[in-house]
Structure formats: C-alpha cells, structure tokens
Amino acid sequence: MSNEIEPLKDPGLPAHTPRRADIDPLAAKKAERQVAILFLLSAAGTILLIASYLFIPQDVFIFFPVLGSTNAHQLFLGLGLAASLFFIGMGAIHWAKTLMPDEEVVIQRHEFRSPDEDRAEFVKSAKEGAAAAGLGRRSLIKRTLGLSLGLVGLSPLILLGDLGPLPDEKQKMTSWKKGTRLVTDPGDRPIRPEDLEVGAVAQTLPAVAPGTHRKLSDIAKDAVLLIRLRPEEFNLDAERLSWTHEGIIAFSKICSHMGCAVALYEQQTKHLLCPCHQSTFDVTRAAKVIFGPAARPLPQLAITVDSEGYLVAQNPFNEPVGPSFWGRSA
Amino acid sequence: MTARERIAGSVANYVDERTGAAKWMKKNLTKVFPDHWSFLLGEIVLYSFIILLLSGTYLTFWFDPSQREVIYDGSYEPLQGIEMSAAYASTLDISFEVRGGLLMRQIHHWSALIFVAGMVVHLMRVYFTGAFRKPREFNWIIGVGLLTLGIVEGFLGYSLPDDLLSGTGIRIAEAIIQALPVVGSYLAFFAFGGAFPGEAFIPRIYTVHVLLLPGAFLALITVHLMLVWYQKHTQYPGPGRTEKNVVGYPLLPVYMAKAGGFFFIVFGVTAFLGAVASINPVWLFGPYTPAQVTAGSQPDWYMGWLDGLVRMAPPLESYIFGYTISWNILIPALIVPGILFTGLALYPFIESWITGDKREHHLLDRPRNAPNRTALGVMSITFMLVALINGGNDIIATTFDLTINQIMWFSRIGIFVLPPLAFVITKRLCLSLQRADRELVLHGRETGRLVMMPHGEFVEVHEPISPEKAWLLTQHEQVPPLALEEHDASGVRRPKALTNKLRARMSRAHAVAIPKATAEDLKQIENH
Amino acid sequence: MEDNLKRLSRFRRHRAVAPVLLVLALLSIGTTFSVAGAATSGPITAAERSALIEEGKQIFLKGCSSCHGLNAEGAAIAPSLIGVGAASVDFQVATGRMPMADMSQQAMRKAPLYNEREVEALAAYVASLAPGPEIPGEELLNYERDGSVAEGGELFRTNCAMCHNYAGQGGALTRGKYAPTVMGVTPRHIYEAMITGPQSMPVFSDKTITPEEKLSIIKWIKAAEAEPQLGGAALGRVGPVTEGLLAWTLGLGLLVGVAVWLAMKAR
C-alpha cells in the first residue's frame, strides 16, 4: 500500500525518568502534604457552603468588582460548592500525578476480525437457523409477517392522533370582525384617532366583552400595531389607502416570517423591524419587505371609526396572519 | 493479612462466586489509557451530563411544567400580580424561594452550555486526528447522534421556563414545523395541541426533556463508552507507539484517580460559573405572551448558528396551486442543517471511499498530515462561525458600532466566500507545515547561533533533532492516490467511468503531500 | 418561608446594602435636582417669561439656527422645531443629544453643552413658536407614589422592550441606528422621550399610555436600574450571546487548562 522506500527507525519508548517524588522522600512528603492541603481546602468549601445556607440571609448584597452588587447567599453558597468539588478533583489528580506510579504501560491490541473458522461457523449456523424457520420456503408466512409488522408500525401513529385537533379554517382567521374596536394592550381602552399624534404608535388588541379573559393563542394572531403618519407620507394604492384612517395605519404585529412580534417602529424612516431575524418593513408602502428574510408584507387591517368616534376594524384581515404554512394560499 | 484485606477478600469472593466477575475485572483493571489533554474533552461532556442529571433532578422537585395561568405572588416585586404560566412562576420560585435554587438553575444551564460546547470540541478532536476511521465509524455516528440530540435537548430545556425569550424561541420553532410542506400545519397542531401557543406544549416537552431524551442519552452514551472500552483508545503517534499497542496508564489506580478527579473539576467549574455569573435571568425577561418581544432575541449558542442562517436567508417563497412553500425557512432551518449533519455522520465512509483505505487505524493523524481533511474541517468551522456571528448580529452591531445590515451582508457573502477560502489557506498551511517537518528532520533545528566559516561566510548552526522527534515527524504513511482506470484493458470505458473519475480526482486531492524525510534522504545529506 | 418572602421583598432597604443605597441616594438627589430645575419655570411673571424667551432666541440663533433655520422652520439637514414643544427641547438638549457632535446616523447622549438655565430658555423659546408637549413638572413625576412597578414592567415589555431590550439595555435598529440604554436616564427625560418621540422613537400618546402608566414604566426602569445582581455578574443583560461567549472562554478554558495540567508529566 505505502510507497515508503526506507523509513526512519522507531527509537522505541523512551526510558522512564523518575520524578523527584520517586527518588527524594522529602519531595514525596511534600507532595503528600500538598494533596492533603487540597483536600482540606475542599472540606473548607463544604463548611462555607453549609454556613452560607444556614447563616447568610437571602437579602444581603455585597459589592465586588466585575460582579457588581451581588447576592451574598447565592454567591457564597456557589463558591463553597465550587471549592468543595474543585479541590477534591485537584487533590486526586495531584496525588495521581506525583505519588502514583507514572511508568507508562504497554498492552497489545488484537484484531477485531474474528478468525475465519468462527466466521464460517457463524454463517453456517445463521443459515441453518433461517432454514429451520423455513422462512424462505414458506412465502405465505413471510408476506403476512411483513404485512403485520408494517401495519403494527402504524399503530403508534394512530394512537397519537389525539395530540391535537386537525388544523381547520380557524387557523386562517383572527378575532377581528367588522366593527371590532381596537383597544390598548395593556389597558383595554378604546382609541380615538385624535388620541394619536403624528409619529405615535399604539399596541392594540381586539376589544372583548368586559371580564373576558384573552387566550394567548388568540393574542398570537390578533395583536395589531397602530401607527400614525402624515397622510401625504403614504405611498399606497387607492384600496390600501382606504384601509387607513386620517393617516393611521394598522398592521398585524405577528411577523409574516416566523411570528415574532414586529413592533420596532422607527418614526423617522417609517420602517418596522423584527428583532428576531431583522426583516424590515416599509410602513409607507403597506409594510413591503425591504430587508431580511421575510417574504411577505405584514397583513394590513382595514380600519375606520364607529359612530362614537372610536377606531374599529372595517373588515377582518383579508389574509391569514403570521408565518406561512402549506395550506396558505398566496 | 490485615483486617481490611480480609474483608475486601471476602466481599470479592462473595461477588465472584455469584457473577464470575474476577476474570473480567482481572482483564479490565489493567486496561491502559493513553494520556493526553485532548482525550479529556469527551470526559468533560460525560461529566457535564452527570451534572445535568443531578442538577436537573433537583430542579424537577419544584418545577411545575404547566401552562395553566396563575397570578404571581412570590417575593420578586417587579412581577407581583402579573399573570403568567405555572411553569414560569415555579421557575421564579426556584430562583427566589428555594435556597440554593437559583444556584442549581445556573449550574444546570451553564453545564448545558458546556455539555454541547464540549461535544463540539470533542468532535473536532476526533475529526482532525482521524480517530473516526475504521474500526470506530459506529462510534462516530453515535457521537453525531448525541450532538444532534444534545442540541434538541438544550433547546427544550431553554424553552421550559416559558419566559419571553424562550417563548419567542418556541414561536420560531413552531414556524419551522409549520413550514414543512404538506404536513407542516398538522404537525404543528399535534405538537401544540392546537393553535400556538396553547397549553399543551410545555408539559409535553417537559416529558421529552426529563425522560425520553435523557434515556436516549444514557443508552447512547453507554454504547459509546463500551465501544471505546472494547476497541481500546486511540493514541497519538510517537516513539514506541504503534498500530498494534496502547501506551498509557493503567485504569487502577492512576487513570481512575485522574478521571474521577476530573469529574469533580468539571462539577467545580460549573458550580463556580453558577456562583459568579448570572445565566438566563428569566425574572428580567418576563412571562411569555405572543404580543411582546425583546430586542436581542437570541437562542443559546448551539442554536445561534441556525438562527444566523435563518436571518441571512433570502426572502423566497413559492406559491404553487394555492399552496405555499417557505424557502426562506426550509432552506436555512431544515435543508442546510440536514445536509450538514448527514455529511458529518457519513464522513468516515466518504473518506474511506475516497482513499480506498479499509484498514484499521489506532494511531492518530497529526492534522497537518491529512491536509484535505483538516482543510475541510476548518472550512466547516468557518461556515458555522459566519452563521453564528450572524446569529448575534444585533448584539455585535451595538457593541462594535456596526449596522445589522452590514453584518447581514457580510454573512450573506461570507457564507459562500469564506469557507472555500479557509479550505485553501488551511490546505496550504498544512503543506507548509509538512515541508517544515521535512526540513527539520533533514537539516535539524535552527539554533540562531552564527558561525563564521574559514572563507568569511556566516552560516547558522543547525542542531540535529532527537531520534524521537525525527520519528514523530516521519512515522506517518503517505498513501498514494487511488489509481482508477477510466478504460479497461481493451480500451472500453468502464461502466462507472464518471464515478471513478470523480473518485480518482478526490483521491488525488486527498493524497497531496510533501514527501516526508526518509532514511535515504538523510544518508544522502550525510554523504554530502 | 413567610419570613423569607418579606425579607426578600424589602431587600433594597436592608442595612448591608450600602452600595445600592448609595446609588439610590445619588439617583434621588439627581432626580430632585432635575425636578427642581424644571420647577423654576412654574410661577413666573409675563415679563420674566418674555425675557427668558428672548434669551432662548439668542442662544438658538447662535447654536441651533445653522441647522434648524433662523426661525426654527427646519432645513434639509434638520427638522422643523415648530410645535415640538418644550419637552422635546429639554430632552434633546439637556441629555446632550443636541447640538449634534457630527452628522452621524443618530444623536448620542453626552454631557450637555448648555446649563439648566440655558436649556430652560431654549425650551421657552421653542415653546413660544407653537404649542407642543410641555416639560412635565415635579408633581407629575412622582413615580414612586403614582406608579406600579409590576404594571410598568408589563407596559415596558409590550411597548419598549422590543427596541430597548428586556432590561432596558438598548438594542440595534436598522442601518446603524440603535435604541439607547434607558439606564441612568432621569425620570423627566424618560417621560419627555415618551411624549415627544425623539429621533427613531415613536410617540406614546397620553391616551394610549396614560400619564400614570408612564410613571409605572419609569418606576419599573428605576427598579431594574437599582436591581442588584441576584445571580452573579450580569454579563451586560443582553441575553444568551454573552453567556455563550463566557461558557466557551471561561468555562471550557478553565476545563481545558486543568486537562492540560492533568496530562502533563509531573517532574
């Protein structure tokens, strides 16, 4: 295999050089003492741990450079534990290094391959076993066994069926309906257009009946961001413009990429940034993606005001909010 | 015979008469383990796993894996009266009401980071030294499996407290599941028991985190270690070390003391980190709600590269017959990692196919002597680093006065340009190191001493290196590339001509080397 | 247990917390001063007021008009200041953001160029151009009394954390802009930032986040600022990036260090 002409000679394992502790009893004694000191340090660590647990109250803070004003209970408990463990290790290793034999030992490896006769015998008995079972001859058994084993594999899948409901049309819908008021999150107060100055934002949710508890899975689809611009700053088609109200535009806050809450609104550039993957959306162009991995604009919620002058949804979202999924039509 | 010896003797007798253990023990107590710091990297992982089991069990005594909503009334004032899941509230209780609870949480989290980091460095050691070669391919695959499971296990653990940061992580995981063609929505609904976030996910991943995956770890680690034991450890080359022997310290007492001691060291270091450095301060994050998010939403580092890939993905989605395929999620989060990990798992087989080498190897390679493999490894690390950097682009941007857009573009271009560049540079570096080795053997070490020759010329004195060193630098084999004929004897193209051509080409690239110094070369120089 | 809870909840008042108390004391002194400074603009006569406005105009012409225009009408490089209100001027100038040191992406917080009196005059001048948000008075800013820290946290996480990070440490925005840290900012300036929306920051109007809610936010920020390290070094409170870095450097570094020592032959 190899093309070697004449390699250098292996000089063989170097002779063992004795350590100081091997030849000098004083050095050995010293090493023994060092090991003992390390074990004692460990014992001291445990005592520190016990003392901290029992005697340091949880509300004491001490200032240390780098750490800052830090909780003494937690710190000394941890340092005690760390010392008690670390120094046992140091002691054991130092002991092994200085006082236990350090002459290297050579043992031989053996080939893993079994001797040919063993292999032949194995093949023979395997074949005999197979023949005795007669699987090769009895093809009916072979096939039905295959079928039943294949089907049995399905049963765990079937039994897991109740892990969750099947996705349905609700997956594509939110709680927003025609006329649902936008209320502040948190606070649940309805909002009038005049409540928002130009450059203002508001985090909103759909109004619910008083006392109703919102489910997180609803919030995960319903969260909406309101932004007020000067109307002339919009660069929208007539339909999308009609979805805004006096310069107020509403977007789903759930990122069209992977569902994080997109609410980093830069008032000067009118950009919305998602902190998870940095998709950037241009608010003036109906949240068109201008940077990052998101492939779709944020869904826009058509808004208007109701008879009392509060902001409401004109219509439900006209597309599913949040990240893409297979059954989501473009 | 002392009393102690008598007792030990009778215990041993009792056990042996019932198990016949003496025969096995006799053989194995004298087992030899080569000593090298890099052989302890795997031990770091093993010991962190034990620490994770211990500290994790402690945490389960108080953790309540439930998404039932509760009102917090614990002692942490800034969250009093806030609605949160029981999982989050109990995490706060562990941190503030249980003495030592926060320490244990921090130890658990730090050792988890070290667990995965240790696996990565251990994997690098095994890779760069060629320890995965026959007969250790199975153990390599088990190792890759453990790494994959480790990443999943870490992510699940990070998700359990149900805080704002980890909830955002789960949200992203759900988006990835949902992006799978055809079955995505079904799988997501099954996993979450309905629409995201639901109330089922935390309890479910808790079972997986504390039962299923640790069980799988125990089984795989056992097999991994048994194989190491049975196949005996590899060793670095050196004088007296051959493919046929193992040079090292016996299990009893030296290795036992060292390895046992090292367990306490690993535990001590994680406890130290848990004592002095805050990790995952969930009380600051707040409970998860889908309408909130924090700047700098990051996963733990072992998922950071994945997040970095997702961040740099192009905004691609296809709409076909009313269905949506999210390439911007599928490519970075599933396809690329899938290719990477499959390639990683199959690498031993790929390399042996390229070299045609089917022999057993127990002596490790010095990385420079396998330039192609080393370069490929550095190339992969570079890829991962670029992805990882992009995963922290927002933090890097604010820390170093850069823009996220710059870092994103750097990564988008760098992920294609830098890994090949790293390959080329590493390969050349390996070859120059080989050249330096050759020079060293043939001409000795430069001493820095100048001597004036009789005719006035100054020359530097070279000192010959020791025979041990010379052996170390020349012990490796230099295997010629595979000779695969494209045409057979009668000039007909072989059926597998194309494959063979590719294989021969890779084999040539793999065999590139500076001829090592031989005894012949030395003789020639001496005769001059 | 009960006892424990009580003790924990009052940890900031404990005797052993001298450094924290010091920080708190300094803060409250700072707050008092700044509030006192603002309060002087209260009951003053019309004549004093017009003198102040005139003084502000002079400062404006010297220091601001080159960018913002002679009548604060704005120019290509700087926005109009008509209608931005006194609060905006106070925030921008008293935190040192204006005048800008250079034409970079964003004005940074730095030592203010003008003293309190001059800031007050500038604010009065700009406020005289058109009505706008006023500087919140001392009475309004009593966040310790009127705010709720838990509610503030909830509001902060919904409205602020996405840019300023979960612990108010700040974060990256697009193209090199960033949300600055809110640590160490006076309550008055935090309040002004919310009502005026400086630079990239949007406006949070009083109807969507009421004044009391704003005080709650301030109270939470101040609590976060004063919160000592409950679990050891905070690592910048920026999340898993620094944690990963520490695990790889200090954690793995220490372990590999010991491993090298372990495998070294003793002499």
pLDDT score at C33 = 43
**Total of domains in chain C:** 1
For B212-275, the DSSP string reads IHHHHHHHHHHHHHHHHHHH---B---TT--TTEEEEEEIIIIIHHHHHHHHHHHHHHHHHHHH
**Which of B263, B294, B396 is the mutation pick for testing C, counting most C CBs within 10 A?**
B294
Question: In percent, how much of chain C has pLDDT > 90?
Answer: 30
Name the neighbours of C, counting chains with at least 3 Cβ pairs within 8 A.
A, B
CA distance C123 to C57: 10
A329 is a domain residue: no
- Yes or no: say if A71 and B283 are a contact pair by the CB < 8 Å rule: no
Query: What are the residue boundaries of the structural domains of chain B, listed by start?
Result: 33-365, 444-527
pLDDT score at A8 = 83
Q: What ipTM, to 2 d.p.?
A: 0.91
Would the CA dihedral through B270, B274, B279, B281 be positive or negative? Answer: positive
Residues A181 and A298 in one domain: yes
CATH code for the domain defined by B33-365: 1.20.810.10
Contact state of A107 with B184 under an 8 Å Cβ cutoff: no
- What confidence tier does B1 reach under pLDDT thresholds 50, 70, 90? low
Q: What is the pLDDT of residues B169-196, one digit of tens each?
A: 999 999 999 999 989 889 999 999 988 8
Average pLDDT of chain C? 81
Q: Which of A55, A83, A98 is the last residue of a domain?
A: A98
| Region of poorest pLDDT, from A143-147, B22-26, B432-436 | B22-26
- Yes or no: say if B139 and B224 are a contact pair by the CB < 8 Å rule: yes
Instruction: Identify the domain containing residue C125 by its residue range.
Output: 40-134
For residue B171, give Cα distances in angstroms to B66, B177, B196, B293.
Answer: 17, 10, 8, 11
Residues A190 and A280 in one domain: yes
| Residue with more model confidence, B28 or A225 | A225
| Chain C residues lying within 8 Å of B39, measured CB to CB | 263
pLDDT beyond 80 at C2: no
A34 is a domain residue: yes
Contact state of B37 with C1 under an 8 Å Cβ cutoff: no
Q: Which residues contact B498 (CB under 8 A, 6 or more apart)?
A: none
Strands A311-313 and A303-305: antiparallel
Residues A199 and A68 in one domain: no
C148 is a domain residue: no
Nearest CA in chain C to A91: C262
- Yes or no: say if B208 and A68 are a contact pair by the CB < 8 Å rule: no
User: Nearest by CB to B290, which of A5, A100, A220?
Assistant: A220
User: Nearest by CB to C200, which of A69, A202, A268?
Assistant: A268
Q: What's the whole-number mean pLDDT along residues C141-169?
A: 91
| Chain A residues lying within 8 Å of B100, measured CB to CB | 53, 77
CA distance C180 to C105: 13
Tokens found for residue C219 = 């109270």
| Residue with more model confidence, A170 or B36 | B36
Query: The domain spanning residue C111 has which CATH number?
Result: 1.10.760.10
Helix (H, G, I), strand (E, B), or coil: what is residue A20?
Answer: helix
pLDDT score at C86 = 86
A320 is a domain residue: no
| Chain B residues lying within 8 Å of C152, measured CB to CB | 78
Query: The domain spanning residue A256 has which CATH number?
Result: 2.102.10.10
| Chain B residues lying within 8 Å of C229, measured CB to CB | 278
Q: Which of residues 155-214 of B touch C (CB under 8 A)?
A: 164-165
Tokens found for residue B448 = 């820095």
| Residue with more model confidence, C44 or B340 | B340
Among A189, A182, A179, which residue's Cα sits nearest to residue A227?
A182
Q: What is the pLDDT of residues C197-235, one digit of tens each?
A: 888 899 998 888 999 999 999 999 999 999 988 988 888
Residues A84 and A190 in one domain: no
Q: What is the pLDDT of residues B121-172, one digit of tens each?
A: 999 999 999 999 989 999 999 999 999 999 999 999 999 999 999 999 999 9
pLDDT beyond 60 at C28: no
Place of tokens 């053989």: B27
Q: Which residues contact C14 (CB under 8 A, 6 or more apart)?
A: A59, A60, A61, C7
**Total of domains in chain A:** 2
Chain C contact for A20 (CB, 8 A cutoff): yes
Nearest CA in chain B to C7: B75
- Yes or no: say if A28 and A18 are a contact pair by the CB < 8 Å rule: no
Average pLDDT of chain B? 91
Contact state of C170 with B295 under an 8 Å Cβ cutoff: yes
Q: How many residues does chain C have?
A: 267
pLDDT score at C78 = 83
Instruction: Identify the domain containing residue A308 by its residue range.
Output: 173-313
pLDDT beyond 90 at C253: yes
pLDDT beyond 50 at B62: yes
The whole-angstrom distance between B452's CA and the closest CA on chain A is: 32
End-to-end CA distance of chain C: 54
C160 is a domain residue: no
Name the neighbours of A, counting chains with at least 3 Cβ pairs within 8 A.
B, C
CA distance B478 to B459: 33
pLDDT score at A85 = 96
Three state DSSP letters for B349-414 = HHHHHHHCCCCCCCECCCHHHCHHHHHHHHHHHHHHHHHHHHHCHHHHHHHHCCCHHHHHHHHHHH
Tokens found for residue B213 = 């995956």
Q: What's the whole-number mean pLDDT along residues B205-210?
A: 96
Chain C contact for B71 (CB, 8 A cutoff): no
| Chain C residues lying within 8 Å of B279, measured CB to CB | 231, 235, 243
Q: What's the whole-number mean pLDDT along residues C56-73?
A: 83
Contact state of A264 with B257 under an 8 Å Cβ cutoff: no
| Residue with more model confidence, B493 or C34 | B493
Series of mean pLDDT values for 10-residue runs along chain A (330 residues): 65 88 92 96 96 92 89 94 96 94 88 89 90 80 90 89 85 88 90 90 91 89 93 92 93 94 90 92 93 93 93 92 84
C94 is a domain residue: yes
For residue B271, give Cα distances in angstroms to B155, B210, B262, B267, C247.
Answer: 21, 21, 14, 6, 12
The whole-angstrom distance between B489's CA and the closest CA on chain A is: 22
